[in-house]
Structures are given as C-alpha cells and as structure tokens.
Amino acid sequence: MELFIVDAFTSQIFKGNQAGVVLLGDEESFPMVGTMQNIAAELKHSETAFVKYESDNVFKLKYYTPNDEIELCGHATISAFTVLRNEKIISNGNYVAKTLAGELNVIVETECIWLETAQSNLIKTFSDEASVELYNAFKLDISDRPKSLIPCIISTGVSDILLPVNEKEKLEKALPDRNRIVEISRKNHVAGIHMFYCSSELEVTAYCRNFAPLYGIDEESATGTSTGSLTYYLTKLGFVNIGSENIFIQGEALGRPAIIKSKMKNEKIIYIGGNAIVSIKGKIAL
C-alpha cells in the first residue's frame, strides 16, 4: 500500500489541512477495519482516506479519524483525487467517489478539484436559550450572535452545528472548552461545531473555525463538509447566490490558513473545491 501525506485547500506545502491518503493497488483489498483504524491513529491527521479503483471512472473511499470511521471527508477526498491525478491514474474529467454518504461526483480540473457534497438538510435550529450553552463553550455570550443568523444543525453527509459570531475578533479569540464541546456534540448527534463570521470583504464570504473533539480533532484547519453546510445555510438566507463561487478562509488560528471554495449549482447540489499538494510519499510496511 502506498501512503501519501497531502496538504489540502492550499497550493503551499505545510499549509491548509493535512490528510493521509492510502492508495490500494489493483490486487489489494481494503485492510481490516482495525488495521485502517490503526493507520489513521498512527498518522494522527484529522482524517485518512483509503482509496481503491472500482470500475470505469468510479473509486471507492473509506475515511477514518484517529478515533473512528466517518461517512465522508471533504479535504481527504480532494487530497485523494489530487494523488490519483499526480500518479497519472486519472486526468482532468468527471469521476465518482463511492462513500458511506453516497455516490458523489468529483470534477478534476488543472487548478481545482471539485467535490459534490451529499444533499444538505436543516436538522435543527437553536433558540436563544439553547444557544447560550453553545456560546459559553467558547467563553462567548449570546450577545456575540449576529441578529440575522441563528445557530443550527445542518447535514451535508456529516452533521455539524453552525455557530455564527458577529465580529472576526470574537472568532479569533474564542476559547474552546474541549469537554463541553464533546458533551454538546454527543448530545446533538453532530461531528462538531463550525464557528463562522460573515465577512464584509468582497473577496471572502466567511472566516471559519471548526472543532470536533468528539472524533479526536480539537480544531481542524479546513473542513469541506462543514463548508458545504455553511454554503447551503447562507444561500437559503440570501447571503450568497446560487451559481456564485464563494471563498471561505479557515485554519488561521492554527497557522495553517486554507482557502476553501464552494458553489451551489442549484437548490440541491453543492460543490466544494480547492487545490492540494503532496508533501510526503512512501509505503506502509504491512
């Protein structure tokens, strides 16, 4: 099995969000679940993708955090198709990623790889009373919520709490309480909390931070599925338009800034996109 470490949602090495990518050969089957989990735990990246060619333009992907298997990971998928392109297994064109979240379209371009997210669904909105707990988990207050935005749970293959703040400084200075976020995530059956500030800058849609300690990820520098959920939410509220290309900045607090693109093709289909660069290539000694 070949192993790659990839920096996703960036064109600069050692920036963006790292993912492990394990590329299986034609004669290799997916390893046992315990082995895949051990590899992901050994790598210690937020997610590791295991990739196997199936037929025609179809690839099957499995995703593991250091703690558990998950249905879908945006940045690991972008990373996986970057590896496939770099290794000349694929060229520019349209492909299908078979995941636990469904069969998703992938568009490979020279400067960007686009991933269709699973269909978005609004699961829940939080009252002001219920929102207090969410903000307090970051040493913030309900007064830090923008008047026009309400915390909610949206699923785009993975469910997250979207938590808006009214100033970029509040986003930057938020202090996550790991244990409280784990408790909130478990209680609401979500992967984590995606905090965001809607930017007044023309070139940036929103600045974001993502916290998923329930899955062993205290903070992540780029989260594609959450970006898809946020795109859906902001489109429904009229903050962004169907068909427009949006830019989200994440990872600044970790010193690994990432640029995540998104576009809502129609009322149901969302694509997330970005660049990625391979930093390490090797083999797994099994």
Tokens of residue 250, six digits: 């994440």
Residue owning tokens 């315990």: 34
> Distance (Å, rounded) from C-alpha 162 to C-alpha 38?
31
197 SS3 class? strand
* Residue 162 φ/ψ, nearest 5 degrees: -95, 125
Which residues in 127-229 belong to E strands, given as ranges? 152-155, 159-164, 192-198, 206-212, 217-220
Residue 273's Cα: distance from chain center in Å? 11
Annotated catalytic residue within 2, 27, 47, 109: 47
Cα–Cα distance, 251 to 219 (Å, whole number): 9
Structure tokens at 38: 């051990």
Tokens at residue 219, please? 């903070």
Instruction: Report residue 44 as tokens.
Output: 């210690």
Helix (H, G, I), strand (E, B) or coil at 81: helix
Rg (CA), the chain: 18
Can you tell me whether residue 136 is helix, strand or coil?
helix
CA distance to 31, 210, 277, per residue, from 243 (Å): 40, 25, 27
Q: Annotated catalytic, 54?
A: no
Active site residues: 47
